[in-house]
Amino acid sequence: MKAVLIRYAPLLILAIVWQLVSQFELVSSTALPPLTRIAEAWFSLLTSGELLKNAVSSLYRGGVGLALAIVVGAALGIAMAWWRPVNVALGPLVEAFYPMPKSALIPVTVIWLGFGDGSKILLIFLGCMLPVTIGAFNGARSSEQVLVWSARSMGASRLRMLWDVVVPSALPDLLNGIRTALALAFILMVTSELIVAREGLGNLIGYLGANGSYDAMYGVVLTVAFLGFAADRIYQIFMHRMLAWRDMAT
Amino acid sequence: MSASETLTAGRVLRGAASVAAHLASIVVLLAAWELFARSGAVTMFVLPPFSAVAERIWADAADGSLWLNIGATLYRTFAGFLLACVIGIGLGVAMARTALARWFFDPIISVGFPMPKVVFLPVIILWLGVFDASKIMMVTLEAIFPVVTATVVGIQGVGHELIWSARNMGAKDRELLWQVLLPAAFPQIMTGIQVALPIALIVAVFTEMAMGGFGVGGNMMHASRFADSRGVFAGIVEIAVVGYCLVKGLAILRRRLLLWHQEAVAPSTV
């Protein structure tokens, strides 16, 4: 308990400085409202149901887009590592599109699918797929030759080998790729909603900011930041659990 | 032909073959785009043919607006990215070397890294306005985290033998930092920098879209508002090429700078 307190004391100090600085108007309290007022505004957003409604619609978009990206991305990466022709055909495309700034796709997805959920899901899917693909590809390619040979000499079929040897050994890199994708999903979700949307947390932030209700806007901004942080922590716990077998073996 | 000459010749041939394979799949993709767009399955608005988009880029290049927009985007990207590198490395060194800095910044970095910092955009606009300062600030804010964490890990990983030997030979703090710690940690710091650059470009394009004005992102939003889909696709092609060149350029720079390091001998992956 004490160790945790000492570790996170700097965050507490920052919060106290924030509160004092704006309480005593050292900076304009419009530009930096006191935390107590932000908390009040946040509660009224929560009780009115506004926050929950927008959070559900944002997380739905992020969740569906990310799930699609994981399924398609992992399959693509493993296929590229397993069948050489697939790699020759698709490898250069993956390499060419990987460094492309994904936010550039926002207007295109709007042209294709309009202002609703579809365009956000497509954007998140396209943006998150390549990190997953590259993770799966690197992991599957590095599966130990000895394991592959032993499996073959024990008479495993190609498909069985894929499932029992290649996929498990691709798992650590694949899970790391998914972690990158998770962070990207949040970024793309918020950016696309800030620029073009009718609902969602990003849209709520833009709306509150345009109306000058900065207390509430700060509340939603901090909520999204917290959700991104919490999602990453929960994913890390999940990742450790998934890889527990590997730590036991070594 | 000596053995080493055959080896070089073989390497050159293989390099040429891989470049050809790369080009081939890009060309196939562009051809498929062109054919699909002209097949009538989709309207010109949903997907303009590549030739029309290329024409548009050519026209923009001729009247100079292409260079103006790419220049503005690159200026914001690099200003924010360089700030992130300098501050990030400085902060990382401080955190790795002094307990006080580590105590204060460690929770801030570990809580801040996984957050989507782009969400602070309205707050930054409120503080700094809608011009270059707030765009550069956003880029720095998002790009600094990979640099800091890579620097901390890199410096902490420098072997004690190296530090002790340097101390033993009378190295002062400053000499130790510049001649031992930073070079030894450089491969890892460089990896952090390589992660930070694409992030910087993503954020620069996004801030331009959100705030408008010059720049590739602002231009695309403008085109999209006037239902000018050629303009939108032109922006995508431009930014894809710029992103690819930047990432490749940094990878080449890494190979140059780390010629002395053993990783230069190992086969490179990406």
Task: Answer whether A206 sits within 8 Å of B239, measured CB to CB.
Answer: no
* Distance of alpha carbon B113 from alpha carbon B98, whole angstroms: 21
pLDDT digits (tens, 9 = 90+) for A13-62: 999 998 988 888 787 777 888 999 999 999 999 999 889 999 999 999 99
* Distance of alpha carbon A17 from alpha carbon A20, whole angstroms: 5
Which residues from A are below 8 Å from B29, CB to CB? 93
Is the Cβ of A212 closer than 8 Å to some Cβ of chain B? no
Residue pointed to by tokens 């350029």: B249
What are the structure tokens assigned to B252, written together?
């080449």
pLDDT at residue number B270: 39
Find, in chain A, the residue whose alpha carbon is nearest to that of B195.
A99
pLDDT digits (tens, 9 = 90+) for B91-111: 999 999 899 999 999 889 988
Among B residues 49-88, those touching chain A with beta carbons less than 8 Å apart: none
- CA distances to B94, B245, B254, B263 from B259, rounded to whole Å, are 27, 21, 8, 8
* Distance of alpha carbon B253 from alpha carbon B50, whole angstroms: 32
Residue pointed to by tokens 């927009």: B69
- CB-nearest to A110 from B104, B202, B224 is B224
Contacts of B253 (CB under 8 A, 6+ apart): none
Among A residues 12-71, those touching chain B with beta carbons less than 8 Å apart: 14, 30-31
Contact A73, A129 (CB under 8 A): yes
Task: Answer whether B120 sits within 8 Å of A225, measured CB to CB.
Answer: yes
* Distance of alpha carbon A109 from alpha carbon A61, whole angstroms: 14
Is the Cβ of A232 closer than 8 Å to some Cβ of chain B? yes
pTM attached to this predicted model: 0.85
Which residues from A are below 8 Å from B220, CB to CB? 104, 107
For an interface test with A, the pick among B27, B30, B76, B119 (most A C-beta atoms closer than 10 Å) comes out as B119
- How many C-beta atoms surround the C-beta of residue A198 within 10 A? 10
Q: The dihedral of CA A67, B117, A232, A248: what is its sign?
A: positive
Task: Answer whether B247 sits within 8 Å of A98, measured CB to CB.
Answer: yes
The distance of B180 to chain A (nearest Cα, Å) reads 30
* Distance of alpha carbon A56 from alpha carbon A52, whole angstroms: 6
Domain formed by A36-249, architecture: Orthogonal Bundle (1.10)
- Each residue of A160-196: b (16+ CB within 10 Å) or e? ebbeebbbebbbbbbbbbbbbbbbbbbbbbbbbbbbb
pLDDT at residue number B269: 45
pLDDT, averaged per 10 consecutive residues of chain A (250 residues), comes to: 84 90 81 89 91 93 95 92 85 84 87 87 93 89 74 76 80 89 90 86 89 89 91 91 70
The distance of B82 to chain A (nearest Cα, Å) reads 18
What is chain A's Cα-based Rg?
23
Contacts of A193 (CB under 8 A, 6+ apart): A58, A120, A200, A201, A202, A203, A206
Which residues from B are below 8 Å from A226, CB to CB? 115
What are the structure tokens assigned to A51, written together?
């926050």
pLDDT at residue number B265: 58
Q: With a cut of 70, list the residues of chain B below it in pLDDT.
A: 1-8, 262-270
Q: What is the ipTM of this complex?
A: 0.81
* Distance of alpha carbon A185 from alpha carbon A103, whole angstroms: 11
